[in-house]
A and B are shown apart, each in its own frame.
Chain A
């Protein structure tokens, strides 16, 4: 979608911080009327730029103390094995994201667990038993921050 202006970028910045802001409250921040703000939000949604919402939870308070990123190299390749692997890995509840990448690994997985021994259980019983899994590298997440990105 072309023709985005500074107000659109300001709306994206505000909603990526707090998606529950009403069109009225957001409009007041930006000096826009409620209907004008609403129309802009609607347009950004229809263009697929606002792709949805994510509920932010405190994972430690919910008992998930460990996040590990796994780099997975497949041992065997071919279309069928990729699809089998993707279906099976996506079905593991502790696997939060699956990204297909090019480089030294084929897939990058974000895995959440209660603690290190719970992670070991997920790794041994669920990940290492996936169809076609070869080499696996693990990195334990210490901190993360999401940046606003190039929004104007």
Chain B
């Protein structure tokens, strides 16, 4: 379905999503109209889903990021659904992932500082349903964060 040109377009776009169509076309050695048609096809077929702004929470005053690895009580068939539904109600939860492995669910939680984190943890996180165990990983630094797919 995808040819080499599509892959090249996606590689360039992933490395610099902000460049304009004419700039990108020039780097790829294409005319802008040919590139636009290709992009249109990639969007129509659902390969390109869209573009999102990346928000730097630290610049917004959220200094703390904690990864909470949660084990759920799997004897309850509704445990996953009810836990996730409740976690969506916590504003400071910025990511919810489910897994196959030792961890069932992971939440990314941000907070302004440690007292704020403590407050979120006690008042909101510990009230989430069906938790049997929680482990916390404290975020120190992002070494690589571009999430590029090696197309």
Which A residues form the contact surface with B (CB < 8 A)?
1, 4, 12, 15-20, 47-59, 61-62, 64, 69, 71, 86, 89-90, 93-105, 107-108, 110, 112, 137-147, 149-151
Contacts and interface: CB of A to CB of B under 8 A. Distances in A.
Given A51-B54, A99-B140, 14 more contacts: A15-B52, A16-B52, A55-B51, A56-B48, A97-B145, A98-B144, A99-B142, A100-B142, A101-B67, A104-B135, A139-B99, A144-B98, A149-B93, A149-B94
Contacts of A105: 137
A94 B55 contact: no
A48 to B, nearest CB: 4
9 contacts: A19-B53, A89-B144, A95-B144, A100-B143, A101-B138, A137-B102, A142-B98, A142-B100, A145-B97
Given A142-B98, A147-B94, A51 B141 contact: no
B32 interface: no
Contact of B53 (A50, A99, A142, A145): A50
A18 B52 contact: yes
A51 B56 contact: yes
B149 A53 contact: no
Contact of A147 (B95, B99, B150): B95
- Closest 6 A-B residue pairs measured CB to CB? A139-B101, A15-B53, A93-B150, A103-B137, A98-B143, A51-B56
Nearest to A12: B55
B13 interface: yes
Contact of B55 (A49, A58, A93, A100): A49
Interface in B123-149: 135-149
B40 to A, nearest CB: 13
B56 A96 contact: no
Nearest to A71: B137
A108 B149 CA distance: 17
Contact of B45 (A1, A12, A61, A102): A61
B53 A108 contact: no
A1 B60 CA distance: 7
A19 B13 CA distance: 14
A53 B18 contact: yes
